[in-house]
Amino acid sequence: MSAFEFVAALNIFLSITSSLGNALILVALHVETSLHSPTKLLFRCLAITDLCFGVFSQSHFPVLLFFYVSTGMRRKALFYIIQINIISSLVLCGVSVFTSSAIISVDRLQALLSGLRYRHVTLPRVRAASVCFWIIGIICASIYLWNIDVAVTVFFALIILSLIASAFSYAKIDIKLRQHQLQKHAVMTGRTGLLL
C-alpha cells in the first residue's frame, strides 16, 4: 500500500466516522430536553460544523489524491480545487475551535459563576456569538486568498487565544470547585467536632 492510498483510506475512514458521529449527536440533541437552550445551540453549532468538515473538506481530500495520482489531473485545475478545500477547512476548523472553546470552557465557567442567574444567558446572545465565529472564520479564509502567511499567522493567533481562554476558564472552574470542596469539608469537620 502506497502512502497515497494509506492517506486516502485514513481520510475516508475519518470522514465517515466524523459524519456519522456528529449526525448521532444532532439526533441526541434533538431528543434531549434537559439542556439549557443556549448550551444546546452551541452543541448543535459544533456538531453541524464538524459534520460539514467531515462531509465536505475531509471527504474531498482522498478524491483529490485519487484524481491526481490516477488521471494526472492538470496542475492548474488541481491547484484551484485544493485551494477551495483549504479555504473550507480553514473556515470550518476555525468555527469548530471557537465554538468548542465557547461551549466547553467559557459557557461552563459562566454557568458555575452565575448560578441561578445563568438562565439570563439568552438564545439571541448565543446566536450572535455563533455568527461572530462564522464571520471570523470567513475573514481568516479571505485573508488566505490575499496572503497565505498572514492568514496562517492570524488563524494560529486566534486558535491560541481560544486555547488561552479555555485554559483560563478551566483554571477558574478548578479553583472555584476546590474552594467549594474546602468549604464543604470545613462544614462537615465542624459538624463532626460538635457531635464529639
Query: Is pLDDT at 40 greater than 80 in this prediction?
Result: yes
Q: What is the CATH number of the domain that holds 178?
A: 1.20.1070.10
CA distance 154 to 157: 5
* 107: Cα separation from own chain's centroid: 13
The pLDDT value recorded for residue 24 is: 92
* Three cell numbers written together for 2: 502506497
Entry pTM? 0.73
* Three cell numbers written together for 122: 439568552
CA distance 97 to 193: 49
* Mean local confidence (pLDDT), 27-36: 83
Report the percent of the chain where pLDDT is more than 70.
86
**Average of per-residue pLDDT values in the chain:** 80
Structural domain boundaries enclosing 57: 3-195
Q: How many domains is the chain partitioned into structurally?
A: 1
* Three cell numbers written together for 23: 449526525
Residue range 167-188, pLDDT digits in tens: 888 888 888 888 888 888 777 7
Q: What count of other Cβ atoms lies within 10 Å of the Cβ of residue 84?
A: 13
